[in-house]
Structure formats: C-alpha cells, structure tokens
C-alpha cells in the first residue's frame, strides 16, 4: 500500500556520485559515461513535484514502493524494448493496455521507445526515482531484455480517426494475449458504426481496460493501479458522498481520482469546511476503483494482539545476509578448479533464482554431488561436481543459516539473500541420509512477489464471485486442498489480503510463516513453547479475531478446533491434503470430525494444482481438430464449436528451450450450498455430492485445466496429467 510522504522540493533530495553508477550498458549501449544522477538533479532543481507535474500535464505521485510490479516488467518484456539513455523512465505498474512509468524529470525522452500514447506518466521524487532505477537494474541483471521489438514497424493512428478505427489499430499492433484480443474483437463487432467515447461503453472488458482506453482515445489524465496512496486529509464521508479519492494532496493542487470531470460539488463542500483553496485536477478512474480506494484507506493504524508474540517469526535485518553481485557472478566459472566453494555456491544460487527456481536441492548422486533447481514444477540439474566437495558446500550453507553441523539430526533454519535490490528469504531443511551423508533442500521466498492480489490468480468471473461472497461471510470454514507445492499458501494469502482492512482483525497460525503481511497478525508454531496448530487456535479465540488462517489441519484436534471456531462466529481458512474439493469432506470425516458439524460449518472447498504455462514468446498455434472439439465439448469446456487455435510448446531462448515459462493455477472451486450441506450432514455418497455440485456449475480440476488450454495458457498434454480428476458428472 502506498502512503503520502511529503517531499516539497526535489532540490532537497541529494543525489551522490555513487548513484550515477546505477547506469550501465544495460540501459545505454552507447553511453558516454556522463553522470545521469547529476543531470536528473539539475533538470529538476528548484521545482516542487506538483509544479513540475502541473506544468507538464502529468500526475504527481509520492510512493513508498521500492520496486516495479511484475506486471510492468512483463509488459516491457512483451514489448521487447530496451532503453537507450542512462536515465530512463521507470515502469511502476500497468493499466490494462497501458504502462505506468515514473521519472523525476518529465523532460526525459527515454521512454523505452514506447510512444506517449501508450504510457501513463507520473512524476516522483529524485530520491525515489533512484531507488526504483536500482531495482530495475537488478531485475534485468538477472534476465536482460531482448533488443527486438514487435512495435518497431508501426505508425500511430490519428486522434481524428473514429474510435473503432483506433481500436482496430490497437488490437493489430499491441502485444495482447489471445483472450484479450478476443474481447477487443467482440467490442469492435458489438459497436461497429457507433460512437464510443466513454468508459461506460467498455463494460465487456475489465474495468481498468475501459479507463485506460478512454485515455488512449481522449488523451485524459488517467490512473488506475491496484494500489493507491493512503490518505489522511479527508473524511471518509466526504469522499464517499462525492465518489472521489485524492491521488495526490499538495500545497497548491489536489489530484482527485473520479469517474467523471465534475468535481465542483466536492470543491464547494471542502471550502465550506474552512479549508484553504487548492486547484482541483480530476484524474479519470472507474467508480469501483474509487470505492475500493476509499475502503482500503479506512483508518491509518492496524490492530494488534499480544497473543504469543514472542513466537512470531520475522525477517530480520540482523539475519545472515548473503550478498550476490550479478555482475561479478557472471564472471564465475564453477568448473574452474581455482574457483572457491563460496563463489560456486553464489553462482548456483544465482542460477537457481534467475532461472525462476522455487527450490534448490543439494545432494549426493552416485559418485557426484549435484545441485538441482525446481523450475516450473520440474527438477533440473544446474551443476555437478565431485562428491568430495559436497561436505564443504553443505558446511557453508549451514554457516549461512546458523545451523549446527551435526549430520544425524533433522534441522531447519533460514538465511537472507540479496541479488541486486532483490531480497529473498531462503528456508533451509537438512535431512540425514545413509553413510553419514546429508541432503539440503532450500525454498526461495521472494519478499516482493510473494503476496498476490486476487487479480493475479487468473480467476474466472464465476470463481471471483465465489471468493468475494465467501470472504465477506461472518463465519464459515474455507478449505484449500492440494499437494505440497501446489500454491495453497499463495492462494490463502491472496484471499485474506483481499479483506485486509482496519475494521477486520485477521490472525494466522502458520508453520512456517512464509511471507509477512502488513496489517495481519501472524504467529509461528513453536513446539518448544507448546504452540501447535490446535493449542494456538484455542488461544487465539480469546484474542477476538474476525478471520483466522490455520496453516494446515493435520489431525482431528486441529480440524475440530477449526470447525468449532467456524461455528462460533469466525471465518476460518485452512489447508488440507486431499485430491479434490469434495474428497476433502471424506478426509475430514475419516479424521474423526462429526459430519453434522462439518455440514454446518463448511462454506467452500477448493482443490488446486499448478501446471506449466506456455511461453508467450514461442508457443505455436495448432488447429483444433474434430477430436479435440469433441474432447472440449464432452468436458463442458465449450458449448459450441471454437474457431480459434490452441497452442503447443515450441522452445526458445526466453524459456530455455522448454516451451514453458512459469506456471498457472488450476482451481476446482466448490461453494457449499444448502443441499450439499445437508448431504454432508446425512452422510451421502461422494458421487451424489459430485452430481449436485455439477448441477451448479462446479467443474473438476481436469475440466478447469481444459479451459486453460482454450485460453492458450497451457497444453492438453499438461492437463492430461490431471486426467484422474475427471468430470464432476
């Protein structure tokens, strides 16, 4: 969440010579070595942020974010652009088809070659700019951008052209996904021959697309990131009454998010309360985003509870921090006998993280020692060496994490890792093996990308509606099931973060705490102090919680305590190991939970898996045969023939030749209606409950996977691995 941090004058922010070292050949292949930091400072010197923004027709923004969003980074990768100068505009977010870029000097021309028409520009402080620029360097140190752009050969449309013509140009030239293009084509067909000039005409698209495209057509100031600044200057009643929200509150100007240009009624009431007059500048946003911004900013402090705070696990700045320089590590040859073990370890960690690895395995394999990274769900060997070197490597990892050097004990610990500005928490587990060997397994927890928004889970409209209605309930049990590594914790964090606001007391009990969430109380289980899931949950009920997250219901005691909490006025979320959403019911009953209690408590059960996501750079179109059409129709994925192609993996440099880049979650989401609840209580068979769920639109994991194939996100072969999770019918 952003907050206001008042920096009145850019001249008050000093930029040292060291900051200029952030500029390198990544951004400036032909750099003349000039001090970019000094140039930036000199251009902006003597002007306030709001004065600069107003004079240039841009938006001032005081942010505390220290990194660009993953969406903004992906947008640059889609465009294939590289900046040409040494002080480029920094991407901080995206807005549908547009990219939000920030700079302290609005006169800078280095926008990555992206036309102004496709950007939303904001002005930030010089200090914040340098922080964001450093973060951008670290991101592209890990994986440089391609110099090839899909936008090299196009001409911009004239604003005098009719909106439909501009939309057609946009669809043909911008790197949209197949699903996005289909929505735009539908918009063209539905509105051919009409005059569409306002967001109301784009209701068929996600609302941020509608707002963004209005800017695209009209050249209006426009802003709609997922997060907005926390404001403390206006009453909630005033903002809700007029449907506005302050994006920026300065000495001379107020930039107001609103869904129209009519701000005079707000201004009149603001002045009537005795406040000093300021110029009101409307910034276009959709109504739902304004309401969401008001809701997020309610209050400025978070609730805290004093329950077992001593057992909470936090990332500490005093924790061992392994600093890896991407530039230096690029020169390391792990096969050179003169390379030190410390350098080899840093090289291996860098390779694992930069290759999108989620885990690293260090182990003996026959007569060698091998390092394997789990990338997109599959293990891949990234380095091998002689087995004689293995004890040294294990000892070094244990030193980093302050582990003891006993080889016969089970051990768990953590250490921190810094790659550029990227901060990663590494969770280490040591397991004894035969012949006094040991295996280390490390889980990488990215502090910047760990907490997802609901929009990042790629939920369907139906699924989003189910989650929204479930998370607004006063009580009930929410189950998320799946094997280890299926993204259960990520999903649960996204769920509770969607309701993270001042009037809701949220508390978690976890083992371990994977990511710290601002505004949420998190407790680590601790066997030494007698805190497990069951005892912690019972203690927590005395701390007046509204929403509870229990990391895992491992036994009857924990499951029963969670259900009792759900029946006594709390919304409880927990995970369970079960193959599908309804099998979780039989799993709990087999653990000893009374069916009538479970039937009354259960609000939603969800099963999920992660499948490999096709690389958008190289995925290859394949025609939809009659056999595939029949397969889709049989599994209720389509109701009519589809004319769009599906895709298969090809392989390119971006994805390392695998044809896949990342993973996508497949979710089988089953809300528990009255009839299913009664069936659980009465002990009905699993097949009967499945038939009832199917009547209400619940699709199996396999069916949901097939929908992802149609959307172009994965392949039939990948989904076929879920074939034993067949249709609900």
Confidence of residue 374 (pLDDT cuts 50, 70, 90): very high
Q: What 8-state DSSP symbol labels residue 526? A: B
pLDDT of 84 = 67
Average pLDDT over residues 175-192: 72
Considering only CA atoms, give the Rg of the chain.
27
User: At 320, is the pLDDT very low, low, confident or very high (cuts 50, 70, 90)?
Assistant: low
Query: From its phi and psi, is residue 235 left (phi > 0), alpha (psi between -120 and 50) or beta?
Result: beta
pLDDT category, 588, cuts 50, 70, 90?
Answer: very high
Mean pLDDT of all residues belonging to the chain = 78
d(CA 552, CA 584): 13
Which is more confidently placed, 40 or 688? 688
Q: 554 or 12, which is more confident?
A: 554
User: Which of these, 424, 427, 422, lies nearest to 401 by C-alpha position?
Assistant: 427
For residue 571, pLDDT over 90 is answered with yes
Task: Judge whether 699 and 636 are in contact, CB under 8 Å.
Answer: yes
Q: Look at the block and give the residue holding tokens 């008001």.
A: 294
Statement: residue 360 has pLDDT above 90: yes
Confidence class of residue 64 from pLDDT cuts 50, 70 and 90? Answer: low
Greatest Cα pair distance in the chain: 82
Q: What was the pLDDT predicted at 691?
A: 92
Question: Of 31-35, 105-109, 302-306, 647-651, which gets the smallest average pLDDT?
Answer: 302-306
Closest CA to 44 of 107, 133, 132: 107
pLDDT at 39 over 70: no
CA 533 – CA 537 distance, rounded (Å): 6
Q: Which residue, chain included where needed, has tokens 């495209």?
A: 213
* Integer CA distances (angstroms), 396 to 282, 399, 446, 622, in order: 57, 5, 22, 49
Asked if 549 and 574 count as a contact pair (C-beta separation under 8 A), the reply is yes
Across residues 102-120, what is the average pLDDT?
A: 81
Q: Which strands, in side-by-side order, build the sheet including 245-249?
A: 245-249, 253-258, 279-284
Distances (CA, A) of 55 to 216, 259, 630: 21, 23, 60
By DSSP bridging, strand 602-614 and strand 660-671 are antiparallel
Cβ–Cβ < 8 Å for 173, 151 = yes
Lowest mean pLDDT among 152-166, 430-444, 695-709: 152-166
For residue 703, whether the previous peptide bond is cis, meaning omega lies within 30 degrees of 0, is: no
Most confident range, picked from 34-38, 78-82, 460-464? 460-464
Q: Tell which residue, 168, 74, 181, has the closest CA to residue 615.
A: 74
Please give the share of the chain, as a percent, with pLDDT higher than 90.
21
How much is the pLDDT for 27? 36
Would the pLDDT of 461 be above 60? yes
Residue with tokens 């889609």: 78
Residue 194 burial by Cβ neighbours in a 10 Å radius (0-12, 13-18, 19+): exposed
Interval 298-304 mean pLDDT = 35
Q: How confident is the model at residue 655 (pLDDT cuts 50, 70, 90)?
A: confident
Mean pLDDT, to the nearest integer, of 530-552? 88
Integer Cα distance of 212 and 240 in angstroms: 23
End-to-end CA distance of the chain: 44
**Residue 603: what pLDDT?**
96
Average pLDDT of 540-545? 87
- Spatial contact of 138 and 417, defined as CB atoms under 8 Å apart: no
Judged against a pLDDT cut of 80, whether residue 384 lies above it is answered with yes
Say if CB 687 and CB 667 are below 8 A apart. Answer: no
Q: Identify which has the larger pLDDT, 527 or 622.
A: 622
Q: How far apart are CA 214 and CA 97, in angstroms?
A: 11
Confidence band, pLDDT 50/70/90 cuts, at residue 150 = low
Q: What is the pLDDT of residues 188-241, one digit of tens each?
A: 777 666 655 555 555 556 666 777 777 777 777 887 765 677 777 787 778 888
Pick the range with the lowest mean pLDDT from 418-422, 480-484, 491-495, 665-669: 418-422
More confident of the two residues 644 and 336: 336
Phi-psi region of 112 (alpha: psi -120 to 50; beta: other; left: phi over 0): left
Is 50 exceeded by the pLDDT of residue 287?
Answer: yes
What's the rounded mean pLDDT across residues 325-343?
A: 86
With a cut of 80, say whether residue 527 has pLDDT above it: no
pLDDT tens-digit series, residues 394-409 = 888 888 888 876 767 7
């Amino acid at each position: 969440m952003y907050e206001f941090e008042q920096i009145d004058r850019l001249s008050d922010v000093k930029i040292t010579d060291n900051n200029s070292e952030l500029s390198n050949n990544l951004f400036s292949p032909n750099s003349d070595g000039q001090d970019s930091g000094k140039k930036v400072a000199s251009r902006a010197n003597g002007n306030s942020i709001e004065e600069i923004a107003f004079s240039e027709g841009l938006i001032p923004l005081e942010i505390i974010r220290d990194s660009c969003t993953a969406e903004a980074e992906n947008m640059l990768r889609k465009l294939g652009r590289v900046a040409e100068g040494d002080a480029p505009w920094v991407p901080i977010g995206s807005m549908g088809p547009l990219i939000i870029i920030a700079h302290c000097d609005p006169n800078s021309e280095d926008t990555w070659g992206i036309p102004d028409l496709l950007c939303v520009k904001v002005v930030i402080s010089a200090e914040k700019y340098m922080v964001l620029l450093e973060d951008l360097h670290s991101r592209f140190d890990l994986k440089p951008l391609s110099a090839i752009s899909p936008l090299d050969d196009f001409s911009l449309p004239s604003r005098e052209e009719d909106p439909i013509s501009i939309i057609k140009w946009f669809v043909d030239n911008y790197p949209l996904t197949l699903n996005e293009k289909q929505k735009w084509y539908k918009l063209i067909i539905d509105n051919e021959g009409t005059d569409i000039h306002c967001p109301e005409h784009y209701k068929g698209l996600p609302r941020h697309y509608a707002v963004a495209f209005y800017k695209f057509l009209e050249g209006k100031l426009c802003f709609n990131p997922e997060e907005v600044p926390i404001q403390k200057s206006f009453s909630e009643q005033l903002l809700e009454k007029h449907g506005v929200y302050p994006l920026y509150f300065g000495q001379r100007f107020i930039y107001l998010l609103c869904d129209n240009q009519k701000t005079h009624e707000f201004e009149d009431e603001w002045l009537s309360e005795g406040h000093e007059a300021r110029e009101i500048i409307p910034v276009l946003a959709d109504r739902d985003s304004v309401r969401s911004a008001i809701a997020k900013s309610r209050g400025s402090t978070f609730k805290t509870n004093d329950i077992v705070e001593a057992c909470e696990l936090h990332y500490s700045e005093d924790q061992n921090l392994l600093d890896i320089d991407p530039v230096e590590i690029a020169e390391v040859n792990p096969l050179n006998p003169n390379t030190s073990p410390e350098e080899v370890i840093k090289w291996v960690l860098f390779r694992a993280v930069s290759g999108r690895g989620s885990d690293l395995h260090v182990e003996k394999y026959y007569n060698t020692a091998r390092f394997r990274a789990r990338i997109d769900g599959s293990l891949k060997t990234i380095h091998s060496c002689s087995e004689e070197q293995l004890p040294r490597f294990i000892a070094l990892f244990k030193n980093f994490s302050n582990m003891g050097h006993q080889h016969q004990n089970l051990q768990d610990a953590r250490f921190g890792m810094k790659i550029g500005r990227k901060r990663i928490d590494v969770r280490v587990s040591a397991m004894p093996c035969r012949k006094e060997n040991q295996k280390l397994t490390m889980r990488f927890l990215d502090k910047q990308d760990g907490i997802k928004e609901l929009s990042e889970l790629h939920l369907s409209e139906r699924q989003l509606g189910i989650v929204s209605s479930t998370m607004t309930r006063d009580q009930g049990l929410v189950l998320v099931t799946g094997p280890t590594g299926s993204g259960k914790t990520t999903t649960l964090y996204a769920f509770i973060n969607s309701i993270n606001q001042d009037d809701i007391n949220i508390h978690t009990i976890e083992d371990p705490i994977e990511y710290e969430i601002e505004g949420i109380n998190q407790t680590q289980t601790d066997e030494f102090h007698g805190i497990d899931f069951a005892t912690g949950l019972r203690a927590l009920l005395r701390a007046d919680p509204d929403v509870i997250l229990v990391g895992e219901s491992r036994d009857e005691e924990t499951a029963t305590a969670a259900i009792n909490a759900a029946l006594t006025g709390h919304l409880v979320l927990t995970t369970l190991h079960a193959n599908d959403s309804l099998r979780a019911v039989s799993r709990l009953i087999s653990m000893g939970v009374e069916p009538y209690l479970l039937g009354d408590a259960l609000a939603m059960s969800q099963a999920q898996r992660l499948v490999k996501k096709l690389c958008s750079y190289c995925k290859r179109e394949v025609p939809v045969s009659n056999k595939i059409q029949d397969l889709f129709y049989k599994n209720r994925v389509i109701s009519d023939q589809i004319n769009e192609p599906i895709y298969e993996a090809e392989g390119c440099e971006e994805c390392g030749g695998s044809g896949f880049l990342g993973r996508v979650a497949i979710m089988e989401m089953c809300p528990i209606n009255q009839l299913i609840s009664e069936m659980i209580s009465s002990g009905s068979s699993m097949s009967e409950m499945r038939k009832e769920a199917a009547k209400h639109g619940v699709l199996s994991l396999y069916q949901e996977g097939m929908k992802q194939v149609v959307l172009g996100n994965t392949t039939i072969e990948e989904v076929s691995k879920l074939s034993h999770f067949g249709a609900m019918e």
